[in-house]
Structure 1
Amino acid sequence: MKKLVYCDETTDIVGPGIEMVDTLSPGGKFIVRTNPGCWGNMITPSIKSWHEVGRPVAIEDAEVGDAVAIKIDKINVLSRATSSGTDAAQGEYFKSDPGIDSFCPNCGTKNPDTYIKGTGEEAIKCQNCDSPVVPFTMPHGYTMYFDNKREFGITVDENISQEIAEKANEYSNLTSAGMQHSINVFAKHDMPGVPARVIPMIGNIGTVPAMDMPSSHNAGDFAQFLLGAEHEYACSEKDLNNRSDAHMDVNEVREGAVIIAPVKVKGAGVYVGDVHAMQGDGEIAGHTTDIAAEVEITIDLIKNLNNLGPIILPNLEDLTPLTKPYTEEENKRINETAQSIGLSYVEREMYPIQMIGSGADLNSAAADGLKKLAKLLDYPLDEVKNRVTVNGDICIGRAPGIVNITILTPISKLKEINLAEIVKNHYTEK
């Protein structure tokens, strides 16, 4: 089997019905050339998802119940500019979901092919009748230009946004095989002159779900839109258990981090997409700076972990003070204190893991993540709550319903579940 696979093919749907691009040996590298997520796809009616992502790769010997450890080695930002902002769905252009079952209200064509004529929100035209097809508008938006080193971006004014819109695909750096229009064509300029640091992260990375679904809806919050829908990807509450929660939008998922993703189908089907130039916790505008990128990851196989959702090992600098591993000096003082009061047992070596929780809202997501942690670590739920309170935290990945729950975990417990080596090495290797 191969130790290196390159992919520049994209798909809007993920699941067992989607052909894998190739098969990779455990320990091998997967390099993915991605197009932007969200906005470009949202204004392209032929795409049946809010994302186009890289086609998945199969991992040799991966079976349902296993996990894959995905180390993010490199994120290379390729876009020179991007546009984003808040969204407003336009009801006359879709039935159930503006990103899945849009149609042209003039000629009635479902998911019509479209072309670009001019710039602005009505530049997307139906190939069949030449009428504008606009499932989403952007009530407040911006165009951001990146410096040559991709270290920061600056939002631009009307004149510059228009120049970028006229060469929209070039500034987005879309692949020739991609499906989406560039969102730069909107020429948005509502908040010029705002600088932002480029800290690239990946919004949609993990394994394919156990049923075919739009890649953007492979998460407990977005999947709510599939319940009772009128399109072919409609599902029931029970069907939601097939998701793998790869669409996390957790900003700790960046270079150096590890994602331990559950295997839901034979071969796992690891995929990457929706790279962001930067994103604050919560992605509260609903969307951020979607970019084209080349992502390099290393994928290892963990047998029989049976994790119910993604586990993240963040970079040390991304951890809050309560959740960082204890230093040698701290452990010395902890031991001295325990001895001074005659306490015979103290957890002397602890490392943080993050569990993703997802649901219809943030309370549901927190409950989901806590239950998954309790099952993984074989702790009572109340003990998980106490541990997360005194040496953990719950952070918002994405509103309305993704959280990442960090818990300092004793090395003895990590050994029980066969995660001690990968977790300890992540936080101790230089």
Structure 2
Amino acid sequence: MTTSTARTRTGVTPALKPYLRLLTATQFAFNTGFYAVLPYLAAHLGDGLGMAGWLVGLVLGLRTFSQQGLFVVGGALTDRYGPRPVVLTGCVLRIAGFCWLAQAGTTATVIGAVLLIGFAAALFSPAVESETARAAVTYETETGTPRAQVLAVFSAAGQAGAFLGPLLGSLLLLLGGGFRTACLAGAVVFVGVLAGHARLMPRRPRRVPVPGAGVVLPREVFANRPFLVLCLVYSSYLVSYNQLYLALPMEVERATGSQGALGGLFALSSLLVVVAQLPLTRWSARRIAPRAALPAGLVVVAAGFAAVPLAPDGPAGLLPAAVLVVLLTLGQMLLVPAARGLVPDLVDDHRLGLATGALSSVSGAAVLVGSAATGTLLGAPGPVLWAVLAAVPLAGAALALTLSGKGRTPVAGTTVTD
């Protein structure tokens, strides 16, 4: 039995190889730099630049579209050229975007900057996520450590960055640096990421390019029924998770008369992931098969929505919202590492980047449609609203049960090892 396997069985976080440590640190740094800026963008556009509310919403929507909607492009480029040039290019574009946003003072320049920032993420995120999934499969084969545990470390690192980033941005604003300083601080973080990857990321492609690997919409991915089922299952989770930005603010305002407590609830969610992701994943790996973790997590998410109208009002007015955040976050911690870990089993290895990007892009499109649909229900009676919201992850859980228990065997010699 290897040392890593022994550590896993005794409940200690597995010792990751240098390449996996690099990818995990990358996720932490990405989110630290990004969230040092993003939470303060809307206020800067509205109060600092005097944009109308609808225009602020349009700018934020364009940023999301240029990121999530183009993940499939970044994934396809990763498959064609390898992760190194895609990640390095994404870092350069993110640095340029943050520097541009720091100076932008007109609607056109702001839109150009946020589109560049979003497209940068559409390049490097699929590359890093697909490399992490590929390396996690290899690590599982070599040590017996479930890949979900490696992906849980990756998720926890991202959430730690999402928690630290706003604190960094707040500190800079409190010190009088302003939004421009926060943007430049975010750019500095990505300069560090760029330097680290230029030095440490493998210089050669993982394999000889497969004929047709650069095709953006290959049949073997988008006519792959199990992968499309996984996309729909993951979409039901993301539509539900997006209610943190739609239904949760409404519930907090109903309970307290303002949205002032939202920041604390978001911090609670991030801290839960940082503290509990690894223990929960270790427990799940011992007791639940990876494909079973998907419906289990979605059922927990559904329970969060169902509990909102049942929780008491009065002095404990925030209790329903807190229950929703806790259960939704617990469900996320169960299902996200499992979903990401299933992708290498469902698609050919030379399409892994594209599939990873497609998973996010398809889910992002579902969120766009689902948010519009659920937005029309926000004025409905509470029991109706929360019942409909609970039905979405329940439908995803039922669909997840149709995924085959047999996975594709990873192809030997196609991964980067240390």
Higher-helix-fraction structure: 2
Structure with the larger strand share: 1
* TM-score, scaled relative to structure 2: 0.29
**TM-score normalised by L of structure 1:** 0.29
Higher relative contact order (CA 8 A, sep 6+): 2
Which has the greater radius of gyration?
Answer: 1
